[in-house]
Each structure stands twice: as structure tokens, then as C-alpha cells.
Chain A
Amino acid sequence: GDSVTQMEGPVTLSEEAFLTINCTYTATGYPSLFWYVQYPGEGLQLLLKATKADDKGSNKGFEATYRKETTSFHLEKGSVQVSDSAVYFCALTEWDMRFGAGTRLTVKP
């Protein structure tokens, strides 16, 4: 079945560092891809999405490009802030919604 595999955490970075969180997927058809973020004590929130190959989703300085040839949707940010500390989930939807295991990011001042 459809599945998402994302980079194991935790990830610890200094403020203004470059962030990459890897995500690859397996799907039978043409899924939509998402990144969700979970701040402490809260539910998941949509961060960005892409619905077809070569689409780039972006929000709050984060970007991810839907790469069909490598079945990937890696999350990137050029300069992280302390407020970006959270757990990030890659997700795929086709017939339901499947999430990766989550990657905890801690940004230190």
C-alpha cells in the first residue's frame, strides 16, 4: 500500500542554519503530498502541499518540490529560527491520508 518514509530525527540546528528533512514515498497512482507541522501540545497543521509532479509547495520560508522521478518531497528552509522548533510530518494522500513517522527539529539560539 501507499506509504511515506521520512528522515529519522531528532535534528538539532543553530539559528540561521539550513534545514533539509528528507521524505520519500511509495504510491500506486498520483498522490498529493503534504508537510504538516506539530507544535508542542497541539494538533498537526498543514505547512505546505503539492498536488502533481514538479509542483513546489511553499509557506513561511519552507519549500518542498514534488519529484516523481525520485519519489521524493524533501522539506527545506534556508535559515531556521528558534520558533521553527516542532515535529514535521511528511504525508501522502490518495485513498486515505498516510503520515511519516515525524522528525523532531530543535533550533538553538
Chain B
Amino acid sequence: DAGVIQSPRHEVTEMGQEVTLRCKPISGHNSLFWYRQTMMRGLELLIYFNNNVPIDDSGMPEDRFSAKMPNASFSTLKIQPSEPRDSAVYFCASSSFKGGASDGANVLTFGAGSRLTVL
């Protein structure tokens, strides 16, 4: 398995532009998570999907951020319009997740991340 695949690995854009980050989870995983990592805030959970349905988007910073999962093998995180404070590394992770499970099934496999710089 190629693991979780994210694209682009690096993106530099100007303030006000639309940014779309993409993620292909591991085949067979039923849950997908988007995280943002910055020096100031650490690793923040933005949103997660279970069986393609958004379960918790309370971490999405504001209306400029949106995420979709049209099918089990693809998800996007969109920022429109982008701002300099959105500069961060965005990670996608997938799992065979069971909410409330205590059997250790909820192991996340992370992608390599998308480093976004908004000028």
C-alpha cells in the first residue's frame, strides 16, 4: 500500500487566492482526518469524516475553510480566500476508526503533509 497520499507537498500562494489540498486515504480505511500543524498552536484537528460523512468540524477555523469527501478514496480541504495566518503544514490521516473503541483499532496513518505558505 502506498500509504496516505497528499498533494501538493508544497504550495506558495498570495493572500486572497483559493487553495485546495488533496488527500487519498488508505484503501479500506473508513475514517479520514484533517489536521493543521503550526509552531504556535501545535497539531489541531480541523475535521474528520467517517464513511465519507463529516462527523465533527468544530475545529474548522472559520467559513473560509471547507472540506469534502465525495467518495471513500478522496478528500479535499479548501481555503477561500487564503490569508497569511493560514500558513501551516496540513496533514491528512486515515484509519479504520471506531468511535468509542478500546481495542486500539483507532491507529491513524498520516500522510507526509502539505506545507502551505500564504504571502
**Given A97-B45, A97-B108, A51 and B56 touching (CB < 8 A)?**
no
B43 touches A32 (CB 8 A): no
Bound Cα distance A83, B46 (Å): 31
A96 in contact (CB, < 8 A): yes
Q: Please give the distance in Å from A27's CB to the nearest CB on chain B.
A: 11
Count contacts between A and B, CB distance < 8 Å: 67
- A residues in contact with B43, CB < 8 Å: 44, 89, 99, 101-102
Bound Cα distance A94, B56 (Å): 13
**Given A43-B112, A95-B99, A95-B100, A102 and B42 touching (CB < 8 A)?**
yes
B25 in contact (CB, < 8 A): no
Bound Cα distance A36, B95 (Å): 14
- A residues in contact with B106, CB < 8 Å: 32, 93, 97
A18 in contact (CB, < 8 A): no
Q: Please give the distance in Å from B49's CB to the nearest CB on chain A.
A: 11
Number of A residues near B (Cβ < 8 Å) is: 27
- B residues in contact with A45, CB < 8 Å: 110
- A residues in contact with B48, CB < 8 Å: 96-97
Given A94-B100, A97-B95, A99-B45, 15 more contacts at CB 8 Å? A32-B101, A32-B103, A32-B104, A32-B106, A34-B107, A43-B113, A49-B104, A51-B102, A51-B104, A95-B99, A96-B48, A96-B99, A97-B97, A97-B106, A99-B43
By a beta-carbon cutoff of 8 Å, the part of chain A in contact with chain B is: 29-32, 34, 36, 41-46, 49-52, 89, 93-102
Task: Give 26 pairs: A residue, B residue, CB < 8 Å, sorted on A.
Answer: A29-B100, A32-B102, A34-B107, A36-B108, A42-B112, A42-B113, A43-B93, A43-B112, A43-B113, A44-B91, A44-B93, A44-B108, A45-B110, A46-B107, A46-B109, A52-B102, A93-B106, A94-B99, A96-B45, A96-B55, A96-B99, A97-B45, A97-B48, A97-B93, A99-B42, A100-B42
By a beta-carbon cutoff of 8 Å, the part of chain B in contact with chain A is: 4, 33, 35, 42-43, 45, 48, 55-56, 91, 93, 95, 97, 99-104, 106-113
